[in-house]
Amino acid sequence: MDKLIYTALNSLGSLRGTQIVTAQNLANQNVPGFRRDTVGEGKSFILDDGGELSSRAFQIDRENAGFSTQPGFMNQTGEALDIAISDQGYFYVQPDTGGAPALTRRGDLHVGLDGTLVNGANEAVLDTAQRPIVLPPFRNIVVDEIGRISIEPADGAPGERLEVATIGTTQATGLQLVKGEDGQIRPTTGPLPTPDQSAKVMQGVLEGSNVNSTEELISSIDLQRSFELNMRVVSTAKELDEAGVSLLRLPT
């Protein structure tokens, strides 16, 4: 009987993880370039206790988080520092919390107080050498399809153009990418790929998240129903156990 209850409780633990993913997606549906988190297939292992295998399967409590690679809605903003990648590909960023560089689709850029080009999460945008891009004061800025940044210097002659940096991009072809514990996108093994500028950059366009709020809300309802069913299994197991005990009770 305890195995029946254990199975139901293990299922409830799995549902909790799925609910967390759904809540995370809904909370980030308005974040530019956010990649919708997906639920892993789930794995388990059998405990080896003194050379004997347990009859219970234990759920692995940690695994790499997958995400959807479907492009989000492309919003034509006309803002010079709004950029997006038209199809597949990623920008390189340095998280403000430290750690290794990562990949992102977020393109709501602005210039920090020190001239560093950062996105809306305050992550420094990196160039083709994976170094932060620092821009001098400018009157206007142009980003071409390859990611080259040209500016009209604030102290330059009218019409003067100066190429100052190139935003690093890659399509990460052939690599399996996952989200780490910090929510950043990186390869499952090894360092980031070298920037190859194979992604097409669009200026004046901002990509939204690829979260479908309707699908997430429906999923949340299904999860609630599954939770109730598992709780019913626990309750039924309790009733069966009590009934079995009553049958074994000596008459008085």
* pLDDT tens readout for residues 50-109: 555 455 555 555 566 789 999 999 999 999 999 999 989 999 999 988 889 999 999 999
| pLDDT given for residue 230 in this prediction | 78
Do 38 and 131 share a domain, yes or no?
no
Question: Cα–Cα distances in Å, from 107 out to 5, 102, 122, 154?
Answer: 48, 14, 11, 24
When divided into structural domains, the chain yields a total of 2
pTM of this prediction? 0.79
* pLDDT classification of 235: cutoffs 50, 70, 90: confident
Q: Which of 13-17, 103-107, 111-115 has the lowest mean pLDDT?
A: 13-17
Amino acid at 249: R
| pLDDT of residue 48 exceeding 60 | no
β partners of residue 202: 84
Question: Cα–Cα distances in Å, from 103 out to 98, 169, 178?
Answer: 14, 9, 10
Do 85 and 174 share a domain, yes or no?
yes
Do 86 and 196 share a domain, yes or no?
yes
Do 197 and 92 share a domain, yes or no?
yes
Amino acid at 167: I
- Of 175, 190, 205, the one marking the end of a domain is 205
Do 79 and 201 share a domain, yes or no?
yes
| pLDDT of residue 252 exceeding 90 | no
Do 141 and 186 share a domain, yes or no?
yes
* SS3 call for 42: coil
Do 30 and 80 share a domain, yes or no?
no
| pLDDT given for residue 231 in this prediction | 81
- Of 205, 222, 237, the one marking the end of a domain is 205
Do 83 and 190 share a domain, yes or no?
yes
Between vectors from CA 153 to CA 117 and to CA 80, what angle results, nearest 5°?
50
| pLDDT of residue 12 exceeding 70 | yes
Domain around 103: 74-205
Do 132 and 43 share a domain, yes or no?
no
Do 242 and 185 share a domain, yes or no?
no
Residue owning tokens 């990623």: 90
Pairwise CA distance, residues 222 & 227, whole Å: 9
Do 182 and 216 share a domain, yes or no?
no
